[in-house]
Structure 1
Amino acid sequence: MTIERTADLLISQAVRLNASDIHIIPRRQDYLIKLRIHGELANHGNLPPIAGERLISHLKFMASMDIGEKRKPQSGSWQTHISNTSVALRISTLPSTLYKESLVIRIFPQKHSLFLEKMSLFPNSIIKLISLMSHSHGMLIFTGPTGSGKTSTIYSLAEHCASELNRNIITLEDPVERQSDQFLQMQVNEKAGISYQTGLKAVLRHDPDMIFVGEIRDAETAEIAVRAAMTGHLVLTSMHTRNAEGAVYRLLEFGIKPLEIEQTLISVIAQRLVSLLCPFCGAKCSKYCASSDRIKRAAVFEMLEGERLETIIQGAGKSVVEHAQSLKRLIRKGIALGYISHEEYSRWIIQKHEEAASERSKLFSNQNQ
């Protein structure tokens, strides 16, 4: 089998199994291939050393990367068609020992976004999200760890606004994860001088009704996003914070004044993906399960808005009593209704502690600097 055929077969199998990532990991005797399916890594096979090296070189070539450079991390992307479906692939390499490389492929199927009513474990959450889209200006922040479905949620909401509310929508992303014909998409390109800051300034001059900013990463982006929300635009964006309250504290760290946050921030939506119990397999659903068409994961949303949001803005740094719609209580409700397993709750608790430890580590590092 040619190396081109091997690469096409691997990617097509990953797409068919709804994998989000392909890992090609070098070992002493071979290369291990793993797929991340519904948030869980699973072994998919292995390749001999020569075949593994040739596969990585072929994938780097397809992504317009330097094949000869194995000592530095690289990234690239390309788009292909699998079973008449357009798929965007983002490639990342990392140097390992003995001049071998590890390679990861992030898969972005360019299909239509999920139906809104099928995304959430609790339908009432989607009704609230859609109602937030009726605002003509302000800012909505989606928070959660990588892979929690923030971008998919924002895409689905943006397509709803474009088709149902006839809004002019412009996105600024790094990278553009899913192509859509319903709104204008702009990609961050640092080499061409298009950063989040310069791109957002240009977007504001293009008469948008709604702006989707991929992520607020620094003080300048936060300031421009807030300014856009204050000048008659609805801004949808994301942040990497542990919970909904953390987004407010992060804006304050970026130098945004409490009054500006109070005037612009409509809601903070913390999102997590939870695995649903399979009627055939139970808590651990096999990737070869006969119910493969069934939705195996759903989103749980915690929405910080109204009086509770105002209380946090005005008394930033003070603890707030856990409310009925917190992530912890919603996941417990899912367990009580039989949608979620107890193992999923334990996994979520562990992840929450790891995120808290990571934030404390970053804070300690910044203080030392």
Structure 2
Amino acid sequence: MQVEQKMEQMLAEAVSMQATDIHLMPKTNGYLMKMRTGGQLSKSDSFSIREGERLIAYLKFTASMDIGEKRKPQSGSFRQLINGLPLSLRISTLPAVPHKESLVIRILPQEHVPSLSELTLFPYTAKKLTSLLNHSNGLILLSGPTGSGKSTTLYSMIQHCAATLNKHVIMLEDPVEKQQDSFVQIQVNEKAGITYSSGLKAILRHDPDVIMVGEIRDEETARAAVKSALTGHLVLSTIHARDADGVIGRLIELGVSRHEITQTITGITAQRLVRILCPECGTSCKEGCTQKIRQAIICELLAGQALKEVAEGRTLSTYKRLKDELRKGVAYGFITYEEWSRWHFGEEAVSEK
């Protein structure tokens, strides 16, 4: 089988399984493919060393990555049509020993940006997130662990700004994940001189109402995002932190002062992606079920007076808000006790260290 056909077969299988990620993991005698479905990894297939290396090289080439560079991490993206469904595929590679690469594909369907009410477990969460978008300026940050749906939530909020609020939205990403016609999208290209900092400077001259920065990952990006918010624009971005309170500490680590935080931050969210029960079958979907077990977002939101107190260092909250959301999900029959335990005890273990 040709490598292109193998890739299409792999992606078709992932789509049928409603997978969000595909992992190609190097082993001593070959490569192992795993797929993440509903937040869980499951073994799917295995390849010889030659098949795995050819597949990785083809994916890197298609994503405009350097196929000869195996010693450094790389990232890229491309679009692919599978069974009539347009997909955006985000590719990430890491060097692994001995002299091999590990590759992960993030699968992002393009045909539909779900609304906040579709994403969130509770309707009031969508209303709170939507209310943040009514601000004309400030910085809104979404946090949570990898794979918690931050990017999807961010796109949904941006779509609301463009379609419902009729605002001019410009996005700066590395790489562009979902290509949409509702807003202007710019991809970071350091070789061409388009960094997060220079890109944001150019965006400010382009009369934006809302600016989206893919991720605040370093001091330069943090400073540029804060400066954009201070100039009277609404800025949305993601940041890696354990919870909403932890975002404040992360920004301080990146050189943002508490005064700038209190002047710019409009809201901070921390979200988790939880598996919810199928309304027809219960925990496990039966064969032929059209519902399928899916995931939803539970979210804690830090805004208003509570945000001000945390930003000024006067108080420090805990995981209580997220735990309350989980308990409520169990009480209403949306979440299993096992799913509650998975998050609850995991966070308890972290807090005890």
TM over 0.5: yes
Deviation at 1:47, TM superposition (A): 2.7
Secondary structure (helix, strand or coil) at the match of 1:198 reads helix
Paired AA for residue 102 in structure 1: S
Equivalent in the alignment of 1:129:
129
Please give the residue correspondences for 1:110-259 in structure 2 after superposition, counting only pairs within 5 Å.
110-259=110-259
Paired AA for residue 156 in structure 1: S
Q: Say how many residue pairs are matched.
A: 353
**Does residue 1:305 correspond to 2:303, yes or no?**
yes
Given candidates 331, 339, 353, the residue that maps to 1:344 is: 339
Aligned residues of 1:167 and 1:210 also touching (Cα < 8 A): yes
Deviation at 1:292, TM superposition (A): 4.8
Q: Distance in 2 between matches of 1:71 and 1:106?
A: 21
Q: Distance in 1 between matches of 2:257 and 2:271?
A: 25
Q: Distance in 2 between matches of 1:315 and 1:52?
A: 51
Deviation at 1:188, TM superposition (A): 1.1
Equivalent in the alignment of 1:6:
6
Aligned CA distance change for structure 1 residues 207 and 351 (closer, same or farther; 3 Å): farther
Aligned residues of 2:38 and 2:293 also touching (Cα < 8 A): no
Aligned CA distance change for structure 1 residues 74 and 142 (closer, same or farther; 3 Å): closer
Aligned residues of 1:262 and 1:313 also touching (Cα < 8 A): yes
Q: Deviations over 1:104-136 (max 9, x none)?
A: 222222222112221111101111111221111
Aligned CA distance change for structure 1 residues 87 and 265 (closer, same or farther; 3 Å): same
Equivalent in the alignment of 1:296:
294
Aligned CA distance change for structure 1 residues 39 and 355 (closer, same or farther; 3 Å): farther
Unaligned runs of 5+ in 1: 361-369
Aligned residues of 1:175 and 1:187 also touching (Cα < 8 A): yes
**Does residue 1:320 correspond to 2:317, yes or no?**
yes
Q: Deviations over 1:162-218 (max 9, x none)?
A: 111110011111111111100101111122121111111111111100111112223
Aligned residues of 2:90 and 2:177 also touching (Cα < 8 A): no
Deviation at 1:354, TM superposition (A): 7.2
Deviation at 1:68, TM superposition (A): 4.7
Q: Distance in 1 between matches of 2:308 and 2:67?
A: 53
Aligned CA distance change for structure 1 residues 278 and 65 (closer, same or farther; 3 Å): same
Equivalent in the alignment of 1:329:
324
Q: Deviations over 1:231-264 (max 9, x none)?
A: 2211111111111111122223333333332222
Paired AA for residue 341 in structure 2: S
Secondary structure (helix, strand or coil) at the match of 2:8 reads helix
Q: Distance in 2 between matches of 1:355 and 1:201?
A: 39
Q: Deviations over 1:132-160 (max 9, x none)?
A: 21111111111111111111111111111
Please give the residue correspondences for 1:71-86 in structure 2 after superposition, counting only pairs within 5 Å.
71-86=71-86
Paired AA for residue 320 in structure 1: S
Q: Which moved more, 1:243-252 or 1:290-299?
A: 290-299
Q: Which moved more, 1:291-300 or 1:68-77?
A: 68-77
Paired AA for residue 78 in structure 1: F
Please give the residue correspondences for 1:11-30 in structure 2 after superposition, counting only pairs within 5 Å.
11-30=11-30
Secondary structure (helix, strand or coil) at the match of 1:278 reads coil
Deviation at 1:299, TM superposition (A): 0.5
Q: Distance in 2 between matches of 1:218 and 1:29?
A: 38
Secondary structure (helix, strand or coil) at the match of 2:236 reads strand
Q: Give the superposed CA RMSD.
A: 2.5
Q: Distance in 1 between matches of 2:10 and 2:250?
A: 40
Q: Distance in 2 between matches of 1:355 and 1:220?
A: 30
Paired AA for residue 9 in structure 1: Q
Equivalent in the alignment of 1:366:
none
Paired AA for residue 290 in structure 1: G
Q: Which moved more, 1:174-183 or 1:41-50?
A: 41-50
Aligned CA distance change for structure 1 residues 45 and 129 (closer, same or farther; 3 Å): same
Q: Distance in 2 between matches of 1:231 and 1:93?
A: 37
Aligned CA distance change for structure 1 residues 19 and 258 (closer, same or farther; 3 Å): same
Q: Distance in 2 between matches of 1:157 and 1:75?
A: 25
Aligned residues of 1:242 and 1:355 also touching (Cα < 8 A): no
Aligned residues of 1:141 and 1:269 also touching (Cα < 8 A): yes
State the percentage of identical aligned residues: 49
Aligned CA distance change for structure 1 residues 104 and 222 (closer, same or farther; 3 Å): closer
Q: Distance in 2 between matches of 1:310 and 1:98?
A: 50
